Structure 1
Amino acid sequence: MKLAFILFKYFPYGGLQRDFLRIALECQSRGHEVVVYTMDWQGEKPVGFVIHQLKPKALAAHKRDKCFHQEVMNHIAQSSVDCVIGFNKMPGLDIYYAADACYEDKARLQRSKLYRLMQRYKHFSAFERGVFSPEGSTHILLIAPAQQVLFEQYYHTPSERFHVLPPGISQDRCAPENADEIRQQLREEFNIAAGDKLVLMIGSGFRTKGLDRALKAIAALPDKLKQTIYFMVIGQDNAKPFWRLARKLGVEKQLSVLSGRDDIPRFLLGADLLIHPAYHENTGTVLLEAAVAGLPVLTTDVCGYAHYIDKANIGCVVQSPFKQEDLNRLFLAMLTNQDEHQQWHENGLKFAKHADIYSMPQQASTLIEQLASQRGKLL
């Protein structure tokens, strides 16, 4: 089949982008033709993909999205495509991969009435309605099952249009047999002594991931412990506001910011703790990536995958409503309790062997084939 994949922007280190690529590559491996529509592609282009980069000329982001959508749909209408799969919300999709949380819920609970009078709100609300309206036919691939309740609440989407996927953790995140050797090499590379603590934070979108909360937690540590902390942040975002905050809090010496990179497994093995105090997070794939590497996790319960950390006892979860003192208390405890740290590490390795958290690309591709076949019969 000829499959059209749509996403606003591709860059190698975004969670949505990585999910798209793994699903598209799986579809390609099954013999299907992959055609991609995007406004921007950063990084290498997979062999065999047909990639259309469309550059709408509009200043406002929501206007660019609208123009891009119109151009893509016009192009698809003139092509012979068996199925249209979107990774951002927009009308006209056969299948939507639901990486983002319910926009209408956030707009109503976290924004003012004035915000809902703006053109930006009207655009994004209309694009979300184009996917989830009860009159529509778009099928939804869910990676955060809790979001189905919200979409049904606001749009009355028929339940049969939702398909729940397992997490899609890459097997290379699991600790290999030479994990201790890799850990030692990384710590030597960055001059981290055996008694020092490497705290890791991974993800693009530093504000959403709670980098400010993490810096405040480091600042709240006892001075002696604070001097042993190496805090590495890996991701693609503007770090200047957070450097200013680190200087204000007196922890700039602890902070290092690295751009997105391909050797994340090394850091997961070399670190002592992953901190991810997100403000909101539909899933939080990095939580499971850390877990299967044996790295204890400190996160917030708003992350869709936080329940895995809690149930498998692979770290600690800050409960809502969020309080900075709760994060500070758990952070200190996780850094100082060696017995629990070892137990969290061992629980993560056991979790890696038994949990169904790797098959998302395969199951998503099978659903795409099935739904595309049904669509073809209806045409």
Structure 2
Amino acid sequence: MRLAFTIFKYFPHGGAQKDMLAIAHACNQRGHDITLFCYEFKGERPNWLEVQLLPAKGLSNHRRALHFQELALAAIADAHFDGVIGFNRMAGLDVYFAADDCLAAQLAARSALIRMLPRARCFTAMERAAIGTNGAKTILTLTQRQEKDFQHYYGCAPERFSRLPPLVPDAFRDLDTLRSKRKALRQELGAGENDLVLVQVASSYHTKGVDRSLHALAALTDGSPRPRLWLIGAEKHPESMQRLARNLDIASLVTFCGARNDVPAILAAADIMIHPARRESAGAVLVEALAAGLPVITSGVCGYAEHVDNADAGAVLSEPFQQQELNQQLASLLADPQRRCACAENARAYADSHDFYARASIAAKTIEQAIAAQNAEKPR
């Protein structure tokens, strides 16, 4: 089959972007030709993937998204693809990969003024086009919460959902090799062999709660272990968090590492993952941390927080978020090496007992079956 994939922007370290590329590759390995439509592509282009850059324009993100939708639908119609798989909310999809939580549910908690803004109205309309009655026949979901919200706000029939397991890179299969890089990485990132190291992976510092992590680190008393914090991920404007670290007098403990291609090895070289996100539809880094054998402290808003809870591998913070609870949980875990060891063992045992490496192949098979069934129903 000839399959069209759509995503607004591709860059190597984004969660939805990594999913898109892995699933597209799995579809290609099953014998299908893949064309990706986007308005921005950063990084190396695989030789099996045809990329069509569409000149979407707009002074705001929602205007550009709307223009991309218009251009993509026209280009796809002209090329006569067998099926269309989208990784952003938009019209014209046969299969929708729900990389984001339900926008309608998020806006329901906001003021009427916010809901009436052009941005909110535009993206809500695009979500309705993707998920509503006339939207994608198949919706690939990540969590039960997504399915409940889509049913509540759009009346989606349960049979439209196909929930995918978490995705963990193959590198985590060989934890010994990852751990062999521990000493070199710690030297590079300014940590001693016996230092306690917190790690947070975040491409959007505010959304992922980096400020919360900094405040928790600063709140540790003089008698508590003083860990280092590695912040991994691309952030356009890290200056505000760098300034906050200086103001909290913890700048010497925090390493802003930027985007990295060796995240699995970095996780294996750390001691605790901290992830007090404000918003997180799933949170693949939480499951990656379990695969690396790391205790995890995460906010309850994360879709994959349930895996941390089920694994008994750390702490899931209550919602609404309270900074004091994070401070206490971090101090408690740092002060109890036996608990850290038990959480690490539980994390790895949980990861070993689940297949966290099959998401792309499962998604590819689901897409193949869904497109074939939909095409069989079309009049000849």
Is TM more than 0.5 here? yes
Report the TM-score, using the length of structure 2 for normalisation.
0.96
Query: Which one of the candidate residues 205, 219, 227 is aligned to 1:229?
Result: 227
In 2, Cα distance between the equivalents of 1:307 and 1:132? 25
SS of the residue aligned with 2:76? Answer: helix
* Residue in structure 2 matched with residue 68 of structure 1 by the alignment: 68
In 1, Cα distance between the equivalents of 2:155 and 2:354? 32
* Residue in structure 2 matched with residue 2 of structure 1 by the alignment: 2
CA offsets 1:159-182 (integer angstroms, 9 cap, x no match): 211111111112212452345432
Do structure 1's residue 360 and structure 2's residue 343 form an aligned pair?
no
Where does the alignment leave 5 or more consecutive residues of structure 2 unmatched?
Answer: none
Structure 1 counterpart of 2:159, one-letter code:
E
Do structure 1's residue 207 and structure 2's residue 206 form an aligned pair?
yes
In 2, Cα distance between the equivalents of 1:120 and 1:359? 36
* Residue in structure 2 matched with residue 150 of structure 1 by the alignment: 149
Q: Any conservation in 1 of the 2:179–2:265 contact (CA below 8 Å)?
A: no
SS of the residue aligned with 2:328? Answer: helix
Equivalent residues, number: 377
Q: Any conservation in 2 of the 1:175–1:293 contact (CA below 8 Å)?
A: no
Structure 1 counterpart of 2:363, one-letter code:
A
* Deviation for aligned residue 1:356: 2.7
* Residue in structure 2 matched with residue 34 of structure 1 by the alignment: 34
* Residue in structure 2 matched with residue 88 of structure 1 by the alignment: 88
In 1, Cα distance between the equivalents of 2:366 and 2:56? 32
* Deviation for aligned residue 1:347: 1.2
Structure 2 counterpart of 1:303, one-letter code:
C
* Residue in structure 1 matched with residue 284 of structure 2 by the alignment: 285
Q: State percent identity of aligned pairs.
A: 37
Report the TM-score, using the length of structure 1 for normalisation.
0.96
In 2, Cα distance between the equivalents of 1:192 and 1:61? 39
In 1, Cα distance between the equivalents of 2:360 and 2:195? 38
Matches within 5 A, 1:190-205: 190-205=189-204
Structure 2 counterpart of 1:316, one-letter code:
A
Matches within 5 A, 1:93-108: 93-108=93-108
Matches within 5 A, 1:308-323: 308-323=307-322
Which piece of structure 1 moves more, 8-17 or 115-124? 115-124
Structure 2 counterpart of 1:268, one-letter code:
L
Q: Any conservation in 2 of the 1:175–1:294 contact (CA below 8 Å)?
A: no
In 2, Cα distance between the equivalents of 1:128 and 1:78? 24
In 2, Cα distance between the equivalents of 1:179 and 1:41? 29
In 1, Cα distance between the equivalents of 2:118 and 2:58? 14
Where does the alignment leave 5 or more consecutive residues of structure 1 unmatched?
Answer: none
Structure 2 counterpart of 1:47, one-letter code:
N
SS of the residue aligned with 2:364? Answer: helix
Relative to 1, partners in 2 of residues 1:127 and 1:156: Cα closer, same or farther, differing over 3 Å? same
* Residue in structure 2 matched with residue 56 of structure 1 by the alignment: 56
* Deviation for aligned residue 1:158: 1.6
Structure 2 counterpart of 1:247, one-letter code:
R
Q: Any conservation in 2 of the 1:174–1:352 contact (CA below 8 Å)?
A: no
* Residue in structure 2 matched with residue 115 of structure 1 by the alignment: 114
Matches within 5 A, 1:227-306: 228-237=226-235, 238-306=237-305
Relative to 1, partners in 2 of residues 1:174 and 1:294: Cα closer, same or farther, differing over 3 Å? farther
